[in-house]
């Protein structure tokens, strides 16, 4: 995994090495009972790897972000000693701006906590924005998806305070529209962009004459656990939005109280942001946090970004016998040669240092079949080999 070379908060990269996903062994064997349970074995392995990697690389930025959101959600739901939420407030006023707005007629403590809640939440988003630069565009999409679901639940509760109870078909329009927007942004935009960028990354950065190493690279970059985390995030967003809207939608006098709903709102809100951090962090970690652009293939075409595929990468051939040699020529014209140490998996430009072991990469290659020694550039010259 390319993220194994990333450092946590500026730590020494050498001390931050982690095991690769393919190095983890199965601890369960549910597939032996039923082939339909085999995916659970795969998820357990991947989640173990995610926990291992996050413990290695998550640091003060993630801790501060989660603390800010926890404080934001708690302050937004706090009503003890104030009674603004439990009393129903002044239901005759509404709006945010203007002299007659409902927001400006809240109690002083409610206004203060509300403003602090908004500031803390935006501060957490800004921290994630700076921490994971290659996921910024997708972070915006996920935040928009989050707001769409919240507004959808508020709209559905506006005419049906006990939604989904005592609600009509028209009352479901808000929740349905909010979730449709979320599904489109999270599945057809974010998930697709991350998956297709992963495919391009493996095809370009992990090309190798040995198919076993290529297959291992694909195994190291699997996204099953990440996909389930994205789905669980969508579920928790709905629970948070429903409990928050349900707590404040009841008409006064409120007889049942909102303590239980407030606890559910706080728990689901904090947990959903934890999942959001995981969803944004893992692609950044998996791709090494480099100069990648996480976009779908269609978005790259629209933006005019040319991507290469495995078919466009030329495999080096011995100029004498035509056998494949461990050297590749990228569509850009750059040549990469495999480290002469068979135990090493590093690549790089001829004459440069190996990306894995640091040894100087060879300028000439010896064919493993006929023993001919030739410069790496001659391995891309067509020959009439016998």
Same domain, 337 and 289: no
Give the total residue count for the chain: 386
What's residue 325's pLDDT?
85
In the prediction, which pLDDT does 88 show? 60
Does residue 92 fall inside a structural domain? Answer: no
For residue 84, give the 3-state DSSP assignment: coil
Q: Is residue 102 part of a domain?
A: no
Task: Please say which residue of 310, 344, 372 terminates a domain.
Answer: 310
Closest CA to 85 of 215, 256, 296, 203: 256
Q: Are residues 303 and 349 in the same domain?
A: no
Residue 194 and residue 137 share a domain: yes
Q: Are residues 353 and 282 in the same domain?
A: no
Structure-token pair, residue 150: 């919240």
pLDDT at 304: 55
Q: For 284, what's the count of Cα atoms within 13 Å in the CB-facing half-sphere?
A: 24
Residue whose structure tokens are 């040699």: 325
pTM for the whole structure: 0.72
Q: Rounded to the nearest 5°, which phi and psi values hold at 254?
A: -90, 115
Same domain, 350 and 289: no
Cα dist from 247 to 109, 161, 266, 332, whole Å = 19, 9, 12, 58
Residue 339 shares a structural domain with residue 219 = no
Instruction: State the pLDDT at residue 231.
Output: 96
Query: 260 in a domain, yes or no?
Result: yes
Q: What confidence score (pLDDT) does residue 288 get? A: 74
CB contact burial 78-108 (16+ within 10 A = b; e otherwise): bbeeeebbbebbeeeeeeeeeeeeeeebbee
Same domain, 217 and 352: no
CA distance 16 to 266: 34
Domain termination residue (choose one: 267, 286, 310) = 310
Q: Tell whether 233 is covered by a domain.
A: yes
Residue 248 lies in a domain: yes
Going by C-alpha positions, the residue among 210, 203, 207, 215 that lies closest to residue 368 is 210
- Judgement on whether residues 138 and 238 belong to the same structural domain of the protein: yes
Residue 184, domain member (yes or no): yes
Verify that 324 and 342 share a domain, yes or no: yes
Question: What is the maximum span of the chain, computed from C-alpha positions, in angstroms?
Answer: 93
Q: Residues 325, 196: one domain?
A: no
How many Cβ atoms are within 10 Å of 174's Cβ, its own excluded?
23
For residues 97 and 30, give the distance between their C-alpha atoms in angstroms, rounded to a whole number: 58
Mean pLDDT of residues grouped by 10 in the chain (386 residues)?
42 50 79 80 90 90 94 84 63 61 68 88 94 91 96 89 85 94 94 89 75 79 93 96 85 67 92 96 82 65 52 74 82 76 76 77 84 82 44
**What residues contact 382, with CB distance under 8 A and at least 6 apart?**
none
Contact predicate 318/301, CB 8 Å: no
**Closest among 177, 193, 181, 183 to 138, alpha carbons compared:** 193
What pLDDT score does 192 carry? 92
Q: Are residues 151 and 290 in the same domain?
A: yes
Nearest alpha carbon to residue 229 among 166, 160, 170, 277: 277
Answer yes or no: is 215 within a domain: yes
Structural domain for 214, as ranges: 133-310
Give me the residue label for tokens 């926990």: 51
Q: Does residue 8 belong to any structural domain of this protein?
A: no
Structurally, the chain folds into a number of domains equal to 2
* CA-based nearest residue to 157, from 182, 142, 181, 178: 178
Q: What is the pLDDT of residue 105?
A: 63
Burial 258-277 (b: 16+ CB within 10 A, else e): beebbebbbebbbebbbbbb
- Asked whether residue 367 falls in the same domain as residue 240, the answer is no
Bridge partners of 360, per DSSP, are: 353
- Among the candidates 277, 292, 310, a domain finishes at 310
Token pair recorded at residue 77: 């739901």
């Amino acid at each position: 995994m390319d993220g194994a070379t990333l450092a946590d908060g500026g730590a020494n990269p050498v001390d931050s090495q982690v095991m690769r996903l393919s190095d983890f062994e199965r601890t369960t064997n549910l597939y032996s009972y039923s082939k339909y349970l085999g995916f659970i074995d795969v998820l357990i392995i991947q989640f173990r790897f995610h926990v291992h990697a996050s413990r290695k690389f998550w640091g003060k930025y993630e801790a501060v972000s989660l603390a800010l959101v926890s404080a934001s959600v708690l302050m937004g739901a706090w009503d003890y000693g104030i009674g603004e939420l439990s009393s129903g407030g002044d239901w005759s006023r509404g709006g945010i701006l203007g002299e007659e707005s409902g927001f400006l007629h809240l109690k002083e403590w409610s206004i203060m906590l509300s403003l602090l809640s908004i500031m803390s939440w935006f501060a957490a988003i800004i921290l994630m924005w700076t921490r994971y630069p290659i996921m910024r565009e997708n972070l915006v999409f996920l935040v928009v998806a989050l707001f769409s679901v919240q507004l959808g639940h508020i709209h559905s509760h506006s005419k049906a305070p006990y939604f989904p109870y005592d609600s009509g078909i028209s009352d479901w329009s808000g929740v349905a529209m909010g979730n449709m927007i979320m599904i489109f942004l999270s599945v057809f935009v974010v998930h697709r962009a991350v998956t297709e960028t992963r495919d391009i990354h493996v095809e370009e950065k992990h090309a190798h004459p040995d198919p076993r190493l290529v297959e291992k690279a694909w195994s190291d970059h699997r996204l099953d656990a990440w996909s389930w985390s994205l789905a669980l995030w969508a579920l928790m967003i709905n629970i948070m939005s429903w409990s928050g809207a349900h707590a404040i939608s009841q008409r006064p006098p409120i007889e049942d109280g909102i303590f239980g709903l407030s606890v559910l709102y706080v728990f689901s809100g904090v947990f959903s942001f934890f999942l959001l951090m995981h969803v944004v962090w893992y692609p950044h970690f998996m791709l090494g946090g480099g100069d990648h652009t996480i976009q779908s293939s269609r978005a790259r075409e629209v933006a005019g970004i040319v991507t290469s595929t495995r078919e466009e990468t030329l495999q080096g051939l011995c100029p004498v016998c035509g056998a494949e040699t461990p050297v590749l020529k990228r569509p850009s014209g750059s040549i990469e040669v495999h480290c002469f140490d068979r135990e090493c998996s590093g690549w790089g430009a001829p004459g440069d240092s190996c990306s894995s072991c640091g040894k100087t990469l060879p300028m000439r290659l010896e064919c493993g079949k006929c023993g001919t020694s030739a410069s790496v550039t001659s391995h891309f010259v067509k020959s009439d080999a016998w």
